């Protein structure tokens, strides 16, 4: 399966499936603990002002992560 877009490319409330995390080990560990893992579905709820973080939802958990991290998370857009 080929994953072109990253989490940073998603428009708001667009459902996507996580493919691959290319972030460093420490951040990866935290993201995985928050539920951001391959094959899970993810959605961007909001982007912060002043190039602030992204608010995302995975399962019933909402959390924020930064743009530079979002650029390193490959996703596949789900059209449904």
Partner 1 sequence: MKKIALVGMPNTGKSTLFNRLTGGTARVANWPGLTVDITTGKILLGSFMVHVADLPGIYDLEGGAEDERLAHAFLAETDLDAVVLVLNAMQLDRQLALALQLKALGVSLVVLLNMADEARAAGIRIDLEGLSAELACPVYAVCAKHGEGMPEFNKRLAAYLRDSRPHRVDFSGLTANADWHAAEADLFARFVSRPPTLPAGPTEKLDRWVLHPLAGLPIFIVMMFCLFQLTYAIGSPLQDGLEYLLGTVKSAVLAPLAQNWPGFLSGFLVDGVFDGVTTVLTFAPIIFLFFSLMAVIEDSGYFSRAAFMMDGLMSRIGLDGRGFVMLMMGFGCNVPALMGTRVIRDYKARLLTMLIIPFSLCSARLQIFLFLSGALFSPTRAPWVLLSLYLASIAIAMGSALVFRKHFPSREPFALELPPYRLPVAGHVWNRGWGETREFLKLASTMIVTGVALVWVLTHYPSEQASLAGIIADFFQPVLSPIGIQAELSIALLFGFVAKEIVLGALSVIVGHEGADLATHLANTLDGVSAYSFMLFTLIYIPCVSAIATVRKESKSLTFTSFSVLWSLSVAWVVSFVFYQGARALGF
Q: Give the Cα separation of 8 and 33 in Å (integer).
A: 20
Q: Of 29, 76, 77, 80, which lies in the binding site for partner 1, with binding defined by CB under 8 A?
A: 29
Is 8 one of the binding residues for partner 1 (CB under 8 A)?
no
Q: How many residues of this chain bind partner 1 (CB under 8 A)? A: 30
Assess 73 for contact with partner 1 (CB under 8 A): no
Nearer to partner 1, 4 or 45 (CB): 45
Q: Helix (H, G, I), strand (E, B), or coil: what is residue 63? A: strand
Per CB under 8 A, 24 contacts partner 1: yes
Show the tokens assigned to 73: 């998370």
Nearest to 36 by CA among 13, 24, 20, 54: 20
Of 16 and 65, which CB lies nearer to partner 1 in the complex structure?
65
HSE, CB side, 13 Å, CA atoms: give it for residue 40: 19
43 belongs to the binding site for partner 1 (CB under 8 A) = no
């Amino acid at each position: 399966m080929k994953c072109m877009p990253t989490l940073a490319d998603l428009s708001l409330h667009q459902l996507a499936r996580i493919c691959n995390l290319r972030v460093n080990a420490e951040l990866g560990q935290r993201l995985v603990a928050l539920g951001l893992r391959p094959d899970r579905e993810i959605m961007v709820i909001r982007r912060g002002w002043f190039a602030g973080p992204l608010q995302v939802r995975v399962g019933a958990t909402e959390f924020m992560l930064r743009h530079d991290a979002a650029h390193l998370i490959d996703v596949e857009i789900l059209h449904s």
